[in-house]
Structure 1
């Protein structure tokens, strides 16, 4: 399974509610640039999951209009909620893109990739820039599941 963690692009600071915050003009450009990079690399059968926040749906829409809103991915979602939604490590599809929020996405990356972290404890999260992508693959080796970082991209690098 390929798990692509995509943080929403830059959003306005103030709105009627946190879930209503919209992307800024800069955020729309960030999302479009990263979406172009992803589109060139994602398999056709990739599944896109987005938080119910307006900013994550707008980020996902830069990639495709074929995405699922998963309320369990809302801001402050747990690591377990993200992994369950994506079906890690087998996957609900060969490639799953989760468009979500910090600090959750950084915590998912830390949980999967920090080999020295006590998996029972909540891991310290990695910093993920707005519109940044962490591409992680699962693989089985000698009967154990492992996570491998395939790419870490920021909007400035695409």
Structure 2
């Protein structure tokens, strides 16, 4: 299994949290990272997004074919996020577009095997691969991308 944890791009402040849209900078961030991803992803992927408008707008920079999953919305637990993504049993590649601190907490568990508060920059992503090994599965980091690097 491969899993991409992608934090939504920069969003407007204030108002209804689920309705906050991306800023113009956020749209640019999402487009840059979405374009970088598109040329590297296999044809058959699952994209899951939070019900928050800013997460859906970020996902739309990659594809219009995404699933809205309430379990990965603001305030979700890392367990709920990983369960929604099907980790570690899902076949293929799953992209999750969500929020801090949930993404960082899930990332710390997968990459370091511990509960911690890792921070993922707005619009950035971590691409992880689960590799089966005779001594047990291992998680490898394939890429870490921030919007200003692409």
Q: Match for residue 113 of structure 1?
A: 111
- Whether 1:134 and 2:134 are equivalent positions in the alignment is no
Maintained 8 Å contact 1:89/1:145: no
Q: Match for residue 27 of structure 1?
A: 26
Please state whether the residue corresponding to 2:120 is helix, strand or coil: coil
TM-score (norm 2): 0.97
Q: Match for residue 65 of structure 2?
A: 66
TM-score (norm 1): 0.92
Structure 1: 5+ residue stretches without partners:
118-122
Deviation at 1:145, TM superposition (A): 2.1
- Whether 1:53 and 2:40 are equivalent positions in the alignment is no
Please state whether the residue corresponding to 1:63 is helix, strand or coil: coil
Q: Match for residue 101 of structure 1?
A: 99
| 4+ runs deviating over 2 angstroms | none
Deviation at 1:139, TM superposition (A): 1.1
Task: Supply the distance in 2 between the matched residues of 1:100 and 1:145 (Cα, whole angstroms).
Answer: 25
Q: Match for residue 136 of structure 2?
A: 144
Deviation at 1:147, TM superposition (A): 1.0
- Whether 1:154 and 2:121 are equivalent positions in the alignment is no
Q: Match for residue 10 of structure 1?
A: 10
Task: Supply the distance in 1 between the matched residues of 2:81 and 2:41 (Cα, whole angstroms).
Answer: 19
Task: Supply the distance in 2 between the matched residues of 1:42 and 1:126 (Cα, whole angstroms).
Answer: 25
Please state whether the residue corresponding to 1:3 is helix, strand or coil: strand
Q: Match for residue 40 of structure 1?
A: 39
Once superposed, what is the RMSD of the aligned Cα atoms? 1.0
Instruction: Number of aligned residue pairs: give it.
Output: 150
**Greater mean alpha carbon deviation, residues 81-90 or residues 67-76:** 81-90
